[in-house]
Amino acid sequence: MCGIVGYCGEKNAAGILVEGLKRLEYRGYDSSGISVGFNNKLTVIKKKGKISNLQAAVPKDLPGTYGIGHTRWATHGEVNDLNAHPHSDSSGKISIVHNGIIENYIALRKKLTAEGVEFITETDSEVIPHLISKFYDGDLEKAVKECLKHLKGTYGIVAVHADEPCRMVGARNGSPLVLGIGEGEMFLASDVTAMMAYTKQVVYMEDGDVVVVDKTSFRTTDIRDNERDKQISTVGWDIGEMEKDGFPTFMEKEIFEQPQSILRGMKGRLDIDQGTAKLGGLNMTNRELRMVNRVIILAAGTSSYAAMTCAYLLEKIARIPANAELSSEIRYKNPIVDPGTLYFVVSQSGETADTLYAMRELQRKGAKVLGICNVVGSTIPRESDGGVYIHSGPEIAVASTKAFTSQLTAMYLFSLIMARMRDMSMIDGKKIVEAMAKLPDDIETVLKLNSHIKDIADKYADCHSFFFLGRGLTYPIALEGALKLKEISYIHAEGYTAGELKHGPIALINEVTPSVFLVPDDSLREKIISNMKEVKARKGPIIAVAVEGDKEVEDIADDVIFVPKVHEVMYPFVMVVPLQMYAYHTAVKLGRNVDQPRNLAKSVTGARMPASA
């Protein structure tokens, strides 16, 4: 996913564009660029690398009160100045920025080349300004709409023309685009974070929207000029939440914000008297919920491990069949939709392409799909049949931490509701409610282990491979721990259920390959300890995350991180946080950029699903 920002108003555009791009850098940071209009001319400046490179290249006195900017996560063409956005037509009068993938760009490029157009980049996006130029007759909106008729794929596009000052035309199909409404100024961006310093009044564009913006007004139509009514929303975040607030990195800040983000996710939703929870956004009656005979949860990346944890929990406490599925797989298969099955899709951004298209495919087949998201007004909440906002606040670091535990919180609340509707007694329900209410304090206790975890991370930072092992509810947490380590430290790490150790992975155990065991105080504890002894017998170093006072684990492991004793189903929360901290400190020790790991971006788009799929 790349980042887009556009501005028109009375202020200096270049400074606003660069600052907006800095706030979007988590969406892509291979290269960046801006195009600023002044006196019927567009000045384009593009630089490979971080946005600081672009900032250094932009003159402080660059004139112009409108323009567009882009930070790139490369898909087509190598990372260099030339392939960076914005892209322009041959005349230099038109500039565009584009998120997404143009699937038919090769055919379009051949056709335009035959017509005499000279291409200078390797990107799919460059066909867009040339097509707009081909259709331009003095009306940028009209030319953009004609261009869109020839594009196949996903896009979020913003275009400007040197002869139409302080005017932007944006379009969306499968890639997010948001309008920001200020005082005498307007913004277009791929994310509200780009404009939060200037306005909280936003309009979320939907697929098929074309929006025309000047500094005081906007108009939204579809590609055929039909008017589309839009609702203005107010962003609930504050600009201060997107600052580091004294922390060296956003990732560390977000790890330490988890007590507060979990508390926000539970606020007003726990029913202590009845030992259950309340989630009004599900848009389902108790009768409808009781009719559900299966739950399937779709997600990608970190969210998929939260989904897997919830599937385990639903079967454990609600006694309802549940599965977690990768949305990238569901998207391209022909899923069987059972009318008794309730589907959830989980996405921090609400824009994850694989998850969004999987949801649409299920809905086409008649499924009821609920969303679990963080970003209010994003596509999945708008298009789903109901759902839950996790309220974790903005998450800037690419590697998700607080959104993961907030997703767990939302799904635990749903699982509790389902359990109390079935076989769980009020007494047992109250025990879970009390345990959830205590979670913020338990996480605070874990965060006090920061220095100890750093020491362990420093000790093993030079190792080249790791195993993460858990069982039951902690198996998905092992997978998440391995993912965190590999994505920000670039160390090879594998997550396994400990019971599978002897079925192959144990062949890789040696004196320099540490195994991280999760050892909660539950019915599987003895099984995990047995697996630890198997590794110990083969001289494998062991790091254990165990419960305070577990002397047996302490005697076996080389290093132990002790977490507080909690209700047996709450161990995923208190055990994932040490793994986040471990990955963080390892990456810092190795000199990695923990907020912006290589090759990754925060919200990943993909090619559009074919109409026949």
Q: Which residues are catalytic?
A: 2, 602
DSSP character for 227? B
Q: Helices 402-421 & 571-589, crossing angle to 10 degrees?
A: 170
Short-list 83, 21, 97, 13, CA closest to 53: 21
For tokens 């005081």, the residue is: 216
Structure tokens at 386: 């109901």
| Residues composing the chain | 613
Which residues lie closer than 8 Å to 230 by C-beta, 6 or more apart? 179, 203, 205, 209, 220
Q: How many CB atoms lie within 10 A of CB 395?
A: 27
Amino acid residing at 524: L
Short-list 93, 180, 99, CA closest to 132: 93
Q: Are strands 387-389 and 168-173 parallel, antiparallel or unpaired?
A: unpaired
Which residues lie closer than 8 Å to 503 by C-beta, 6 or more apart? none
Q: Could you tell me how far CA 320 lies from the centroid of its own chain?
A: 28
Alpha helix locations (H) across 195-301? 250-256, 258-266, 286-290
CA–CA distances in Å: residue 437 to residues 254, 260, 307 = 20, 12, 21
Which residues lie closer than 8 Å to 125 by C-beta, 6 or more apart? 76, 85, 87, 96, 98, 102, 105
Distance CA 60, CA 41 (A): 18
Distance CA 467, CA 482 (A): 7
H or E stretch covering 591:
none
Q: Could you tell me how far CA 189 lies from the centroid of its own chain?
A: 17
Structure tokens at 40: 């019927």
For tokens 């609920």, the residue is: 370
Distance CA 34, CA 330 (A): 38
Identify whether the C-beta of residue 567 lies closer than 8 Å to the C-beta of residue 222. Answer: no
The partner residues of 324 in beta bridges, in order of sequence, read 297
For tokens 């108790």, the residue is: 286
Distance CA 418, CA 284 (A): 12
Instruction: Tell me the backbone φ, ψ of residue 270, rounded to 5 degrees.
Output: -90, 130
